[in-house]
Chain A
Amino acid sequence: MEIFRSHVLVCGGTGCTSSGSVKLVDRLNDQLGELGLDKEVKVIKTGCFGLCEAGPVVIVYPEGTFYSHVQTEDVDEIVSEHLLKGRVVRRLVYQDKGDHPSVGKSLSDIEFYKHQTRVALRNCGVIDPENIDEYIAFDGYRALTKALTEMTPQDVIDEVSRSGLRGRGGGGFPTGTKWKFAAASKDDKKYVVCNADEGDPGAFMDRSVLEGDPHAILEAMAICGYAIGADEGYIYVRAEYPIAVKRLNLAIEQAHEYGLLGQNILGTGFNFDLHIRLGAGAFVCGEETALMASIEGHRGEPRPRPPFPAVKGLFGKPTNINNVETYANVAQIILRGADWFRTMGTERSAGTKVFALGGKINNTGLVEVPMGTPLRTVIYDIGGGIPHGRRFKAVQTGGPSGGCIPARLLDVPIEYDSLIEIGSMMGSGGMIVMDEDNCMVDIARFFLDFTVDESCGKCTPCRIGTRRMLEILNRIVEGKGEEGDIEKLERLATTIAKTSLCGLGQTAPNPVLSTLRYFRDEYEAHIRDKRCPAHHCRSLMQYQIIDKCRGCTACARVCPVHAVSGEVRKPHAIDQDKCIKCGACYDACRFDAIIKA
């Protein structure tokens, strides 16, 4: 094995890749080659670091220097100063708010990382996901070895059950129980399926695991296969995740070469093989029965349960299906034990959970925290609070199936059951923060629009009911709401939640129900007063110029419809009949003289 004095880790996650991190790797290698440093310094493209907001991210070890927003033109300086002369490039070092420019924090001191506990993401941003040796160097496949050589299938199931691991895809069903059911089904053929059809808007937890640590999924699926008596598995992954697909294929290939997949694994007589199936992007295919229908080549539609997949699943055979993040915990549980796992999280929600933090928040990115962490910690300590000094209004968890949680409930610990109690849900881990400029009716409308679009159309309540709810919400935000609309929404929401065939429909009304619960006054203002309290809904707001106007003409110049008039150095005015409410004047004004009313 080659020894290097320095390792440069470049984030190869989705966010950093799209802001040019691949070019950084090339440039680094070129420069190091030119200076003859390529035998001393190793450049590694890793999985996601999580702090996407600071990307592209580059970390130099052994110092642990965390460079943020690195551009191609910065590479030469990093090479000539840091890697050649050992002088940290101060201007590129990531800083928390209020840090002195001379401070150079290591990863674990940065606010964003300080409160996190990385189990599912432990190798993301640490190893080269395209190299099985690096995974193995970080204890990779040791859990599989342990399971196959020291444990019976029942031992494995018991360990997973005792760990308290629950499904990370949203439902929160105890994983050990699921495995137990699949193991109990008698059949000559069984399957293990990985649900990597991550579909919540803005969520990319599973993607990061697949891209940053694909072997962890392979290992966990093999362990599951051993536990339930399956010799074949499928990973159902979105075609929109090309990097994940590529790395999974590579990982399967490498695992085969090493005899960690295929026939007679590690000489134990255990056989296990994996296939990849690409999803075409239908959200409903994340529902387990729809997912299996899709693998079988049918239209991706859910079917009633029972029979559950553990009894009759893929191709009619007993099947265990878990989500990516669930599997990402398994090897660690087998290796370090259920007791270790239970030290994290709470009694009913053990371990950690990964969240994709987005919306009106300073540090957008991927975070992993122990269950039970209060929402406030995630949003303020890790997320760095709300930008531009705006006021926090709500946080939406659980994706389109989740609900909006108001400021007064920010100290609620993040757990499966506590989130459901307050009208939201864990979901797969989307966390979208809203500030005072967000209209909650419009937010509900936005999420419902998504589910209406993604309904498969099989059952009546979801197919027609969600559509009717959306029509009512559209009317309300357009100022055409009527008395009785709220009651109609509630009646529809209740029926849809109670009668829909699958989880998509059953949870589709949640954004509406939760906003009705916590922000009912906003609905009433729209309907009765024809007013949007957040001044967001175009039909219910106007831009107005107040007496702070200096007559600089900036607004008049940007107005695309010539709705702003006024003489130079005299207050301007907006012709409301002409105004299309595009907000260009509002953004252009440097004197806060334009307000939303």
Chain B
Amino acid sequence: MSEQMINLTIDGIPVEVPQGTTVLKAARKVGIRIPTLCFLEEINEIGACRVCVVDYGARSLQAACVLPATNGMKVKTNTPEVREARRTVVELILSNHDKKCLSCVRSQNCELQKLSLELGVADENTFSGEQTAHPIDDGSVSIVRDNNKCILCRRCVAACYGTQAVGVIGPVKRGFHTAIESAWGMGLSDTACIGCGQCIAACPVGALREKDEASYVWRMLGDETLHTVVQTAPAVRAALGEEFGLPMGTNVTGKMAAALRRLGFSKVFDTDFAADLTIMEEATELVGRMQNGGVLPMITSCSPGWVNYCETFHPEFLPNLSSCKSPHEMMGALVKTYYADKVGVPAQDIRVVSVMPCTAKKYEADRPELAGSGYPDVDAVITTRELARMIKSAGIDFVNLPDEPFDRLLGDSTGAAVIFGATGGVMEAALRTAYEVLTGETLGNLDFHGVRGVKGIKEATVQIGDLALNVAVANGTANAGELLDAIKRGEKSYHFIEIMGCPGGCVTGGGQPIVSAQDRMARDPRMVRAQALYQADADMPVRKSHENPEIKQIYRDFLEKPNSHKSHELLHTHYIARPLYHEGAR
């Protein structure tokens, strides 16, 4: 059946769009970018801010983001009345915004700031009056909320409720006193917040940000008695360049390593190494569960947002979680044991900093059970954004840096590891190794396209010898919850599931460079950044984890074999069911 088409004119330009298309999208088709603020495609389409108003002859102006195009409609997007209305709306928003742009982390990447300039706001105090005052909620180790900057667009609420099915923030009170808060005004740390940071990624202004650990890292780097090493997650290299004006999807692995060395880290390691190690451990665990009648499906555990979600919302699936620590925690444990021995530095003098695309990793690093050496596996987690700020504040000319390699011993990696950053990547990496380990044959085609892409839930059946392995991949915790519910209802049955807490996986994690709503409409960062990783995989000489020479070496020299006693001590963990609200939080 062919789609019914709608014909309308926008500013006199005829345009044909499928039925159901909004005026906002129809206008983009003919090169008219109607300004938006509360709109976040497919996540928050509620017509609340009224910045995108247009005139189509109705009694009042209509929000283009939610206005369906209809046949014969004549839309005007640029009349004096429309322009005046948009500017007035932005001026009103500014009248209850703290306007501390000079010290705001989102300055120059702020949708409100950009709109003010674009719409010609001449005086940010035109409608000055009473401003609401809120305490800053910085009790969470992952996320800081500053409602004094909040413009009540509700993109964070939509991300938290909709995309993530967590729902710990929402509008409270009403009218001028409306605020986005948790139940009973609790701090985020007292709620079931999973720390994924999708609220930050959704925020058009600086009302949500990561908890800053950069200053802590600067102090470590300045302390000469410490031996501070750094590791970087796969997804970081696919996005860091954006902070320096490079096009989305530019892989900056080499420049990143060079920059980290210039910041003063003693060693620059690659979490990709630990990703390969994770595959060894996880694939072995899966085979073990399948052969010994263990709990199935086994579910990956490398996404701390997902682990938090599982512990809080689906504790009945905790036995299904792989006992593998996430890669950077494995790396931390090895740095403070294996590496410490090799270089002769006592573990207590070593500090491990992880550069992650993730805010939930900050919480993960704080877990007391993640201390394989007797010391915390990881001492600080900074996001991709914090790293970019450190590089900028150090005056490093990032774009013109030479490409440098990671340091040896814990720096070598394979194509299987680098795709960990995209949804489906862990599954694909695991399948490459599982296939060869189980069958003893060499895998011909390494690309498992069935588990790639940004679909919320992906399923595939992979033939490994006699075994038809049923796998599923979910990204975003709402999709994860849906998948788990289907399993509970007995509708679905799998052997192995990969779950990433963030939609798109780590490339669009809560700690990654923030892409504005308008830019997201032009290019989907989930796909563009993932493409950088798949390209890196394709370019790698070694693309299977079990063929990583340093992995082979570490099993030979230190860990003996996957799932060995030593592996379990250092590389595996356990999980704890958590209540929705902490006792006494009210």
Contacts and interface: CB of A to CB of B under 8 A. Distances in A.
Interface of A: 282, 284, 299, 301, 303-304, 306, 452-461, 463-465, 467-468, 471, 488, 491-492, 495, 497-501, 506
**Which of A301, A464, A497 has most B Cβ within 10 Å?**
A464
A304 B46 contact: yes
Contacts of B53: 498-499
Given A499-B89, A500-B60, 20 more contacts: A284-B174, A304-B47, A457-B178, A458-B171, A460-B48, A460-B51, A460-B89, A461-B50, A461-B92, A463-B152, A464-B176, A468-B92, A468-B129, A492-B127, A495-B84, A498-B60, A498-B61, A498-B85, A501-B47, A501-B48
Nearest to A503: B60
A202 to B, nearest CB: 21
19 contacts: A284-B174, A299-B171, A304-B66, A456-B174, A457-B171, A458-B48, A458-B152, A460-B51, A461-B89, A463-B176, A464-B92, A468-B92, A468-B127, A495-B84, A497-B60, A498-B53, A498-B61, A499-B88, A501-B47
B81 A464 contact: no
A472 B99 CA distance: 22
Contact of A501 (B51, B63, B84): B63
Contacts of A506: 60
B177 interface: yes
Interface in B53-86: 53, 60-63, 66-68, 81, 84-85
B95 interface: yes
A455 B178 CA distance: 9
Interface in B34-60: 46-51, 53, 60
Contacts of A299: 170-171
A452 B88 contact: no
Nearest to A456: B174
Contact of B175 (A304, A456, A488): A456
Interface of B: 46-51, 53, 60-63, 66-68, 81, 84-85, 88-89, 92-93, 95-96, 127, 129-130, 152, 170-171, 173-178
Nearest to A300: B174
B81 A452 contact: no
In the complex, the 4 A-B pairs of residues with the closest C-beta atoms, listed nearest first: A457-B178, A455-B175, A304-B47, A495-B88
B240 to A, nearest CB: 35
Contacts of B171: 299, 301, 457-458
A495 B50 CA distance: 10
Contacts of A456: 174-175, 178
Contacts of A464: 92-93, 95-96, 127, 176
A456 B96 CA distance: 16
Nearest to B126: A488
A90 to B, nearest CB: 54
B152 A457 contact: yes
Contacts of B93: 460, 464
A524 to B, nearest CB: 22
B176 A455 contact: yes
Nearest to A475: B129
**Which of A453, A465, A492 has most B Cβ within 10 Å?**
A465
Contacts of A284: 174
**Which of B46, B130, B176, B178 has most A Cβ within 10 Å?**
B176
Given A304-B63, A467-B130, A499-B61, A459 B50 contact: yes
Contacts of A499: 50, 53, 60-61, 85, 88-89
A467 B129 contact: yes
Contacts of A467: 129-130, 175-176
Nearest to A457: B178
**Which of B129, B130, B174, B178 has most A Cβ within 10 Å?**
B174
Contact of B68 (A306, A452, A455): A306
Contacts of A301: 171
B177 A457 contact: yes
Nearest to B128: A468
Contacts of B49: 459-460
Contacts of B68: 306
A459 B48 contact: yes
Contacts of B84: 491, 495
Contacts of B88: 461, 465, 491-492, 495, 499
A563 B88 CA distance: 47
B92 A460 contact: yes
A531 B174 CA distance: 35
Nearest to B63: A304
A299 B175 CA distance: 13
**Which of B46, B63, B93, B127 has most A Cβ within 10 Å?**
B127
A7 B47 CA distance: 57
Nearest to B97: A464
A455 B152 CA distance: 14
Contacts of B47: 303-304, 459, 501
Contacts of A454: 174-175
A444 to B, nearest CB: 17
B65 to A, nearest CB: 9
Nearest to B127: A468
Given A304-B47, A499-B89, A463 B130 contact: no
B534 to A, nearest CB: 39
A471 B129 contact: yes
Nearest to A495: B88
A452 B175 contact: yes
Contact of B46 (A303, A452, A463, A465): A303
Contacts of A306: 67-68
Contacts of B170: 299
A284 B171 CA distance: 15
Contact of A453 (B96, B127, B175, B178): B175
A454 B50 CA distance: 19
A465 B66 CA distance: 22
Contacts of B174: 282, 284, 454-457
Contacts of B85: 495, 498-499
A464 B96 CA distance: 8
Nearest to A472: B129
A465 B175 CA distance: 10
Nearest to A307: B68
A229 B93 CA distance: 45
A491 B67 CA distance: 25
Nearest to B62: A304
Contact of A460 (B46, B50, B61, B129): B50
Nearest to B90: A460
Contacts of A463: 152, 175-176, 178
Contacts of B63: 304, 501
Nearest to B175: A455
Given A463-B152, A497-B60, A498-B85, A457 B175 contact: yes
Nearest to A458: B48
Contacts of B129: 467-468, 471
A351 to B, nearest CB: 24
B174 to A, nearest CB: 5
Contacts of B175: 452-457, 463, 467
A471 B130 contact: yes
A578 B51 CA distance: 50
A488 B46 CA distance: 28
Contacts of A471: 129-130
A497 B47 CA distance: 16
Contacts of B96: 464
Nearest to A467: B176
Contacts of A457: 152, 171, 173-178
Contacts of A461: 50, 88-89, 92
A498 B89 contact: no
A297 to B, nearest CB: 13
A440 B63 CA distance: 34
Contacts of B66: 304
**Which of A456, A457, A471, A506 has most B Cβ within 10 Å?**
A457
A452 B176 contact: yes
**Which of A452, A467, A499, A500 has most B Cβ within 10 Å?**
A499
